Amino acid sequence: MTSYHIKQKLWSLGGEFEIKDGFGNPAYSVAGSFFKIPKYFTVNKPDGTQVSKITKVMFQFLPKFDVALSDGSGFRIAKAFTLFKPRYHIEDLGLDVQGNFWDMNFDLIKNDVVVAQISQEWFKLTSTYNIDIYDDRYADIVISLVIAIDYVKEQESHASGSSAT
């Protein structure tokens, strides 16, 4: 099992931060585009090798994000139309999500075996996540998925905050 800890910086305009392993060592870095359309994030290993690129799909009624992995595979996160609780679909991931996806407390399952567990720490100023990956082949996918979900949640909170004022 490999553990990761994601803690975003509070005022990082470009969305730059490190993801550390369970021992506190840098395992990934994330850099967001700054004033670019479409908005995107790149996830890199410490040696600079790109793991994935997460891109917001433009001109959509509901938000969609494409995640392109360095091995050529990818998946899409799309918001579904609902009246009350937000719901998202993950297309082409190849993993099942079990638990509370929106509250970031869920497992990723492949063939009835848990490959990763994701949980969010609450009562923090910044988004903070703990990730346990039981099959290291899925590490890049899981890290990219958590970054994409967090960005979707951040956009939703900004949208609901600005519409309330």
Tell me the residue range of the domain where 10 lies.
2-160
Tell whether 29 is covered by a domain. yes
CATH code of the domain containing 6? 2.40.160
Q: Which pLDDT tens digit goes with each residue over 55-95?
A: 988 887 777 889 999 999 999 988 777 776 666 778 888 88
* Residues sharing a CB contact under 8 Å with residue 9, sequence separation 6 or more, in sequence order: 16, 17, 126
With a threshold of 0.95, does the pTM exceed it? no
The number of domains in the chain is: 1
Q: Are 89 and 75 contacting, i.e. CB atoms less than 8 angstroms apart?
A: no
Q: Are 145 and 153 contacting, i.e. CB atoms less than 8 angstroms apart?
A: no
Tell whether 156 is covered by a domain. yes
Tell whether 165 is covered by a domain. no
